[in-house]
Amino acid sequence: MKLVLWPWFLLFFALVTSSWSLSSDGQALHALSRNLTLPSSIRSNWSASDATPCTWYGVGCNVRNRVISLDLTSSGVSGSLGPEICRLKYLQILSLSGNNISGSIPPELGNCSMLEQLELSQNSLSGSIPASMGNLKRLSWLSLYKNSISGTIPEELFKNQFLEQVYLHSNQLSGSIPFSVGEMTSLKSLWLHENMLSGVLPASIGNCTKLEELYLLNNQLSGSLPETLSKIKGLRIFDASYNSFTGEITFSFENCKLEIFSLSFNYIKGEIPSWLGNCSSLRELGFVNNSLSGKIPTSLGLLSNLTYLVLSQNYLSGPIPPEIGNCQLLQWLELDANQLEGTIPKELANLGNLKRLFLFDNRASGCIPPNICTGKSLRFLLEVQSYQWQHSIWCRYKRASIVLQIRSPLNT
């Protein structure tokens, strides 16, 4: 009888020891896959008969066979992210972007104390950002954009001196930008656009002296832009369009590194700062639909890399600076709906790359320079409309697909 039972005992022992042979990290990943729906090709690759998961698809290990990375970017994963993620004690990189993962971010994720890079963008995540994520003190890269995450940004999240890249845009975040934003002293990129954030831009942002990219557009932010922005010497991109910012531009940059500067569709008043002429790398400058007044600074003619200059719908007065003709790379020049006076400078004919020129609804007078029609790149309707033009001109270009019209109510 004992001899008959012996083979069955050996088989049972083999099955048990086989399940025991998979490392604890492998067991954690298998537990994680109960909530995450993996494609069959990945699921078959995650074999429980392996001693470690280090050869599994998307898994990376250190020399001790501990899982330090899980990268399933754009791998057709769905389901939800379960609390089992916290069992991967040595996890440094978690990248699940570009999938169809739903549900909320588990608070247990805050227990992954070794985590340095977290990418959950472009999924279907909902709920709020857990305050426990403030425990991830080694985190340098946080990407949660293009989800349906709502609620406020936890104050604890920004209390991290190692965070360099923060991408929270294209969600449903509300509330204010935490004052603790100033504690991210290593921050280089902060993308918060396309949310429902309100309140002011905290003055503490000036403590982020390494910041290079600041995207705030399409929110409900208000108040004056803090003068402390002057402390961010290396800022390259600042886009705060489509908000409700007020007041004047009181900050300035001595050694300006700006490449894109846009405050369009706000309530900014005062004059366009002349220091912008020092921003030799500036490519796009947009102040559309504000309450700016005064003259257009002649220093803008120093911007040799400028491709977009859009200042429409303000209260700008004085002449159109002929110096703008020095901006040889300019493609869009929109100065319409202001109170500009004088004549159209003949120097604008030097803008050989110009594709769009809007000068209508101003107070200009005099003749329209005939050489304004010699541009080779102009593609869009050229409209110059004023009740004081002395004549009008029609221009048709060999390479253009439409007629470019300069019209005058006095000479139709």
pLDDT tens digits, the chain, 412 residues: what are they?
444 444 444 444 444 444 458 999 999 999 999 999 999 999 999 998 999 999 999 999 999 999 999 999 999 999 999 999 999 999 999 999 999 999 999 999 999 999 999 999 999 999 999 999 999 999 999 999 999 999 999 999 999 999 999 999 999 999 999 999 999 999 999 999 999 999 999 999 999 999 999 999 999 999 999 999 999 999 999 999 999 999 999 999 988 999 999 999 999 999 999 999 999 999 999 999 999 999 999 999 999 999 999 999 999 999 999 999 999 999 999 999 999 999 889 899 899 899 888 888 999 876 666 677 666 656 554 555 544 444 444 444 434 333 344 444 433 3
Q: How many domains does the chain have?
A: 2
Other Cβ atoms within 10 Å of 20 Cβ, number: 8
Distance CA 408, CA 378 (A): 20
Query: Exposed (0-12), middle (13-18) or buried (19+): which is 234, by Cβ within 10 Å?
Result: middle
Q: So what's the pLDDT on residue 412?
A: 35
pTM, two decimal places: 0.89
Q: Do residue 395 and residue 270 come from a single domain?
A: yes
- The answer to whether residues 403 and 270 belong to one domain is yes
Give ∠ CA 371-376-380 in degrees, rounded to 5.
95
Answer yes or no: do 265 and 396 share one domain: yes
Strands (E), 144-236: 150-151, 165-167, 172-175, 189-191, 196-199, 213-215, 220-224
Q: What is the DSSP string of 235-281?
A: --EEE--SSEEEE------TT---SEEE--SSEEEEPPPGGGGG-TT
Distance CA 37, CA 123 (A): 14
Residue 136 domain-assigned (yes or no): yes
Segment holding 20, helix H or strand E: helix 2-21
* Last residue of one domain, picked from the residues 134, 149, 164: 149
Residues 262 and 393 in one domain: yes
Residue 275 domain-assigned (yes or no): yes
Residue 196 lies in a domain: no
Contact 115, 90 (CB under 8 A): no
Residues 255 and 143 in one domain: no
Of 132, 149, 166, at which residue does a domain stop? 149
CB 278 within 8 A of CB 258: no
Are both 38 and 143 inside the same structural domain?
yes
The answer to whether residue 304 is domain-embedded is: yes
C-alpha–C-alpha distance, residues 51 and 19, integer Å: 9
On whether both 123 and 253 belong to a single domain, the answer is no
- In a domain, residue 130? The reply is yes
What pLDDT was estimated at residue 360?
87
Residue 412 to residue 405: CA distance in whole angstroms: 11
Tokens matching residue 350: 């030097």
CA angle 12, 16, 18 (to 5 degrees): 115
Report the alpha-carbon distance of residue 358 to residue 261 in Å, rounded.
20
Q: Which of 115, 149, 183 is the last residue of a domain?
A: 149
- Say which DSSP state 383 is in: B
- CB distance 262 to 285 below 8 Å: yes
Structural domain includes residue 178? no
pLDDT of res. 373? 65
37 CB-contact burial (10 Å; exposed 0-12 / middle 13-18 / buried 19+)? middle
Q: What six digits make up the tokens of 142?
A: 């946080």
What CATH number should be reported for the domain holding residue 89? Answer: 3.80.10.10
Q: Which domain holds residue 324?
A: 246-411
Q: Quick one: tokens of 101?
A: 């993962």
- Do the domain assignments include residue 339? yes
Is the separation of the CB atoms in 236 and 258 below 8 Å? yes
Within-domain flag for 279:
yes
Residues 6+ apart with CB under 8 A from 11: none
Token pair 């570009």 is found at 98
Q: Could you tell me if 261 and 371 lie in one domain?
A: yes
